Amino acid sequence: MRTPTMSDPASSQGRHPPSRTTNADETRLSTARRNEAIARLPVLGWAAFAGERRAPLPSIDEHGGNIVYTTSGRAAIALALRAVGCKAGDRVLVPTYHCPTMIAPVVRLGAVPEFYPLTASGAPSMSFLARHGRGVRAMLVAHYFGFPQPLGQLRGFCDANGIAMIEDCAHAFFGVVDGRPVGAWGDVAIASATKFFPVIEGGCLVGSSDAVRDLHLKSRAVRDELRAGVDAIELGARHHRFPGLGVLLRTVFGLKEVMRGRPFDVVSVDDADTVQPASVEELDDELTLHSPTRVSRWTLLHTHRARIVANRRRNYALLASELADLPGAAPLRPRLPDTVAPYVFPLQVDNPQPRYRALRAQRLPLFRWDRVWPGTPVLADDVGPRWSTEVFQLACHQDLSESDVRAIAATVRRVFNSLD
């Protein structure tokens, strides 16, 4: 594991030997190591089964219809395209603000992605669709950051033009918009389980059509089942989520790592200074046709959901308070409606490049969608390109403690102050 270092201005002036570090350097390194121990996504532990079983908000897999559990959100998109009858050569509307895994299934199918711009609220531009949105087979529309988008007008447009709406709820497993639960607006809807539940893999496709009901996915091999269970427990042990069994589990997994010549420590993340090109190779066709492991599905169905919603809302509100007056940045969504269970805390940042590199060097659990699909156009009045670099997505999931959240906010403030 490579430990990030910070340059020492005094050293460049000859006041310190190159090999020496200042107190400031040591503080930065200590902070980075502490941040590295913060869970990037939900992790399995006893707490996952604490509190009320049902959440106060409806979820995508609770409001009826046919449900197919998948290995991932991207696999669910690939299956959704097939369920609505998309084929090679069909045009599919997709947003300019995206993760490459949203676009890869369209291209892999042989369909043609047609990009549409977003308004300041993250909604599709209806004026653009009125001019360019006809003659397409399907449309992918996302609820960004966990905030459900009003879709009544878009639903009417799709019905009038024979367009199948694929509702992307990867960021919004829970929520309500205009009186309907998330996932109930589209002809089909997809979700990602790993963003909200302590599972190694998982997603789902929901819809009322026979095409969804008749999807039959392959079962997983026994080795996959065992690996999924072991990996989930090991990650929980690394983050000390099994009180009473922690010492035993850490000893067992620690011996495994020693045998491999590695220390048993929290899994680190790679530096994100270099943006890799998006590719259809990110979509595994074989996994798309398989069900998730039984252990992943069992965990998804048995995790107590009230804690997920409550803790995410608490952590989001705490970040909003801690970062409210941050110079050079502002919460993209400062208000948290009662109908929202957030995925992340979106922070819109001025001068984003150096700030993003510095925050990643501090091992904070954050990312941005700066890997846009090749050929994504620049469109008038579109926030998509700006969001891809300016919007930092900070973790606010249920397995972050208040101390973790305050540490994240404190690091953001210190980094921003150091760069001003």
Instruction: Identify whether residues 209 and 140 lie together within a single domain.
Output: yes
Distance CA 204, CA 190 (A): 6
Q: CATH no. for residue 100? A: 3.40.640.10
Is residue 147 in a domain? yes
Which residue, 190, 213, 236, sits at the end of a domain?
213
Instruction: Identify whether residues 30 and 115 lie together within a single domain.
Output: no
pLDDT digits (tens, 9 = 90+) for 121-169: 999 999 999 999 889 999 999 999 999 999 999 999 999 999 999 999 9
- Collapsed DSSP state (helix, strand, coil) of residue 175: strand
Instruction: Identify whether residues 70 and 206 lie together within a single domain.
Output: yes
Distance CA 238, CA 45 (A): 11
Is residue 292 in a domain? no
Q: Which residues on neighbouring strands pair with residue 346, listed in sequence order? A: 393
Closest listed residue to residue 395, CA positions, set 360, 365, 357: 365
Q: Are 85 and 137 in contact (CB under 8 A)?
A: yes
Q: CATH no. for residue 340? A: 3.90.1150.10
Instruction: Identify whether residues 141 and 98 lie together within a single domain.
Output: yes
Q: Quick count: other Cβ atoms within 10 Å of Cβ 376?
A: 19
Report the 3 state secondary structure along 112-141: EEEEECECCCCCECHHHHHHHCCCCCEEEE
Is residue 267 in a domain? no
Which residue, 213, 232, 248, sits at the end of a domain?
213
Instruction: Identify whether residues 100 and 185 lie together within a single domain.
Output: yes
Instruction: Identify whether residues 27 and 80 lie together within a single domain.
Output: no
Q: How far is CA 224 from CA 90, 237, 241, 288, 290, in A?
A: 35, 20, 23, 15, 11
pLDDT digits (tens, 9 = 90+) for 57-98: 999 998 778 999 999 999 999 999 999 999 999 999 999 999
Q: Are strands 164-168 and 138-142 parallel, antiparallel or unpaired?
A: parallel
Tally of domains within the chain = 2
Q: Are 144 and 122 in contact (CB under 8 A)?
A: yes
- Say which residues have a Cβ less than 8 Å from residue 26's Cβ, sequence separation at least 6: none
Instruction: Identify whether residues 25 and 100 lie together within a single domain.
Output: no
Instruction: Identify whether residues 41 and 83 lie together within a single domain.
Output: no
Instruction: Identify whether residues 93 and 195 lie together within a single domain.
Output: yes
Task: Report residue 87: phi and psi, to 5°.
Answer: -145, 175
**pLDDT tens per residue across all 420 residues of the chain:** 333 333 333 333 344 444 455 555 555 556 666 777 899 999 999 999 999 999 999 999 987 789 999 999 999 999 999 999 999 999 999 999 999 999 999 999 999 999 999 999 999 999 999 999 889 999 999 999 999 999 999 999 999 999 999 999 999 999 999 999 999 999 999 999 999 999 999 999 999 999 999 999 999 999 999 999 989 998 888 888 998 887 777 777 766 565 555 555 554 444 444 445 555 555 667 788 999 999 999 999 999 999 999 999 999 999 999 999 999 999 999 999 999 999 999 999 999 999 999 999 999 999 999 999 999 999 999 999 999 999 999 999 999 999 999 999 999 999 999 997
Distance CA 381, CA 292 (A): 40
Instruction: Identify whether residues 45 and 153 lie together within a single domain.
Output: no
Task: Report residue 251: phi and psi, to 5°.
Answer: -65, -45
* 247 Cα distance to chain centroid: 31
Q: Are 264 and 258 in contact (CB under 8 A)?
A: yes
Range of the domain at 183: 66-213
Q: How far is CA 299 from CA 176, 197, 357, 414, in A?
A: 24, 8, 35, 38
* 39 Cα distance to chain centroid: 13
Is residue 164 in a domain? yes
Is residue 208 in a domain? yes
Instruction: Identify whether residues 83 and 153 lie together within a single domain.
Output: yes
Distance CA 241, CA 345 (A): 24
Q: How far is CA 396 from CA 79, 176, 227, 319, 373, in A?
A: 29, 19, 27, 8, 27
Residue 167 identity: E
Closest listed residue to residue 195, CA positions, set 235, 229, 145: 145
